[in-house]
Amino acid sequence: MYANTITLWFGDEINEAASWYLKSIPGATCDTNFDATAKGNLGDMITLVLPGGLHITLLNGGSPTEKNRSISIVLMCQDQAEIDQVWDALTADGGSPGKCGWLVDKFGFHWQVVPEQMKQLMSGKNLRKIFAALRTMDKIDIAQLQAAGADE
């Protein structure tokens, strides 16, 4: 049985991308053998499995495609240390931070790096304060969100 998957379209750099994502995202695995230094061929695919079970297929599609922020991959992190690690890795080598936990990686794909307890944090009674604190952040700081949601 096949798992549901998201496909990311690359020019010809899926081997490099697979290696980079596997180093950048703790717990990510690959179901394909590949040579990180090889360009590969048109139509080659590599499937990664992210923590939580999300499958992402990397496709050598030939000519690069335009990427935009209307599609993003949400990566739930266990704690602040994991957010910091993943954020630093995905914004390295040409990636760029965005607001509220969003970023663009070096390949131009959009990610949301958020804590697993984000839904719980955003359902507190001080939601306006929590949301105001979130809007000031690039990388999410769990302690700041918790402080904003604390009773006065």
Residue ranges of the chain assigned to CATH 3.10.180.10: 1-65, 67-152
pLDDT for residue 8 is more than 90: yes
What confidence score (pLDDT) does residue 40 get?
Answer: 79
Note the pLDDT of residue 149: 86
Question: Yes or no: is domain 1-65 CATH 3.20.20.70?
Answer: no
What percentage of the chain reaches a pLDDT higher than 70? 97
Mention every residue, 6+ apart, whose C-beta is less than 8 A from residue 25: 50, 51, 75, 86, 89, 90
pTM, 2 dp:
0.89
Q: What is the pLDDT of residue 18?
A: 95
- Separation of alpha carbons 109 and 64, rounded Å: 12
pLDDT digits (tens, 9 = 90+) for 86-112: 999 999 999 999 999 999 999 999 999
Query: 67-152: what fold?
Result: 2,3-Dihydroxybiphenyl 1,2-Dioxygenase; domain 1 (3.10.180)
Tell me the backbone φ, ψ of residue 60, rounded to 5 degrees: -80, 100
- pLDDT per position as a tens digit, 110-149: 999 999 998 888 886 788 999 999 999 999 999 999 999 8
Q: Is the pLDDT of residue 51 over 80?
A: yes
pLDDT computed for residue 4 by the predictor:
84
